[in-house]
Amino acid sequence: MNDTFEWDGDKIRNIKPQIENKFSVKELIEGLDQTRANIAQMKQAIERAKEQIVGQEKNLKHAMDHEKKLAVLEDKALEIQKESLLHAIATIKKECFDFATKRAKVIIDKDPLSMTEEQKIQLPYLEFQKALATHDKISKKISKRVIGKLLYEEPIFENPFV
């Protein structure tokens, strides 16, 4: 194509020649058929999307009904989990204390300059929490939510390192 440039005041205008296309009658009919086929596909896609929305709404309603039925049992289940957790802590406290003490010492001895004094003081307790949370008597019987809340966020045990 031969673009032309000419001044238009203090700007330059780029003039592109208009492209002229010629279509045969056959090309016109085939192009129209293709466009109609595309329109039909788009309509089908919209219908499928509407059906999926209806299905998702149905699934959502079912899940919400299911959640509502189970939610009435939640408080008692959490209380039972808390009691089980307290019992498990009492059973494994000494084992986890010893493990945490040794583990913290190994970590500190490996690179004593990598931590502040405050971090070194806190490390045994953090290792104790981790040992409790990952012990089979807790990790296999207590839910992750209860472990997170009652061992980390709002610990239900005294810090044995204080």
pLDDT tens-place string over residues 132-147: 999 999 999 999 999 9
Asked whether residue 47 falls in the same domain as residue 68, the answer is yes
The pLDDT confidence band at residue 2, using thresholds 50, 70 and 90, is: confident
> Looking at residue 16, what DSSP letter applies?
-
If one counts the domains in the chain, the total is 2
137, two tokens: 């008597």
Residue 14: inside a domain: no
Range of the domain at 149: 73-153
The pLDDT confidence band at residue 93, using thresholds 50, 70 and 90, is: very high
Give the Cα separation of 110 and 153 in Å (integer): 29
Q: Using CA of residue 60, residue 66, residue 71, residue 77, what is the dihedral sign?
A: negative
Asked whether residue 57 falls in the same domain as residue 123, the answer is no
Asked whether residue 79 falls in the same domain as residue 36, the answer is no
Mean pLDDT computed over 86-101: 97
pTM score of the predicted model: 0.69
Per-position DSSP letters for 110-131, written without gaps between them: H-GGGS-HHHHHHHHHHHHHHH
Give the Cα separation of 88 and 136 in Å (integer): 10
* Helix, coil or strand: residue 4: strand
Asked whether residue 64 falls in the same domain as residue 77, the answer is no
Residue 44: inside a domain: yes
Among 41, 56, 72, residue at a domain's last position:
72
Given this model, what pLDDT does residue 23 score? 86
Residue 118: inside a domain: yes
Averaged pLDDT score across all residues of the chain: 95
Asked whether residue 148 falls in the same domain as residue 77, the answer is yes
Asked whether residue 83 falls in the same domain as residue 29, the answer is no
74, two tokens: 């939640």
Q: Minimal CA–CA distance to 81: which of 155, 141, 152? A: 141
145, two tokens: 């939510």
Residue with tokens 């016109």: 28
The pLDDT confidence band at residue 80, using thresholds 50, 70 and 90, is: very high
Give the Cα separation of 45 and 76 in Å (integer): 47
- What is the four-CA torsion angle of 26, 29, 34, 40, rounded to 10 degrees? -160
Is the per-residue pLDDT at 1 higher than 70?
no
